[in-house]
Amino acid sequence: MDAGGEADLCLLTRFTNRKDLVSSIKHGRLKLDNRDVRILSILQKEGRIPKAALAERVNLSATPCWERLKRLEEAGIIERYGAKVSMKAFGPLTQVFVQIELEAHHAENFARFERAMADIPEIVECWAVGGGIDYFLKVVVRDLEAYQDLVDQLLAAEIGVNRYYSYVVTMPVKEEPVPVELFAATD
């Protein structure tokens, strides 16, 4: 992909302060050009690349690239940087996807369940979903015995779980960042 063109991507507009920027994003009004998208794409996979090298890759000198990066960070488009730690580092671990059905569907039921999720470190992801199921969880545990213990705890905790369905991960097939190029183009 050519990093130079601005094509059918809208230009990033200037704002007087951070609050304007943030609210613009929330309302989907902030637009990124090709270079911004390429910067994001590179940083998704190489989060610690030196800024000079990043600039070179998008055909810019350090300063304008640095300014763009700063804007992306301050606008919250880059939420954070993080190291991806291999799960093999700690010996074999088990991942389980869990579907959860709640007993009742009042606001307080959802709130109670979601509060409980926050406190359990083994539950690394929790998503509210539609489609006959209330929540999807991703759980990381040492082994299936530990998983069963966790489930027992969940059921005993009286947080309104009616039914749960477990799907143990037998193999990771694919795990990629969101393809920013795909969603930035042609607004």
Task: Give the range of 17-25, 57-65, 115-123, 177-185 binding DNA by CB under 7 A.
Answer: 57-65
Q: How many residues bind its own copies (CB under 8 A)?
A: 72
Which stretch, 58-66, 99-107, 129-137, 175-183, contacts DNA (CB under 7 A)?
58-66
Q: Is 11 in the site for DNA (CB under 7 A)?
A: yes
Instruction: Between 52 and 144, name the residue whose CB sits nearer to DNA.
Output: 52
> Which of 156-164's residues contact partners 24+ apart within 8 Å by CB, and which partners?
157/116, 159/112, 159/113, 159/116, 160/102, 160/103, 160/104, 160/109, 160/112, 160/113, 161/100, 161/101, 161/102, 161/103, 161/113, 162/101, 162/102, 162/103, 163/100, 163/101, 164/98, 164/99, 164/100, 164/101
Identify residues 57-116 at the interface with its own copies (CB under 8 A).
76-93, 95, 97, 99, 114
Q: Which does 62 bind (CB under 5 to 8 A by kind): its own copies, DNA, none?
A: DNA
> Which of 2, 8, 108, 176: binder of its own copies (CB under 8 A)?
176
Token duo for residue 141 = 């545990």
Q: Should residue 172 be labelled a site residue for its own copies when binding is judged by CB under 8 A? A: yes
Query: Binding to DNA by residue 128, rule CB under 7 A?
Result: no
Tokens at residue 66, please? Answer: 């640095």
Among 62, 78, 120, 151, binds DNA (CB under 7 A): 62
Is the Cβ–Cβ distance between 30 and 9 less than 8 Å? Answer: no
Using rule CB under 8 A, residue 165 touches its own copies: yes
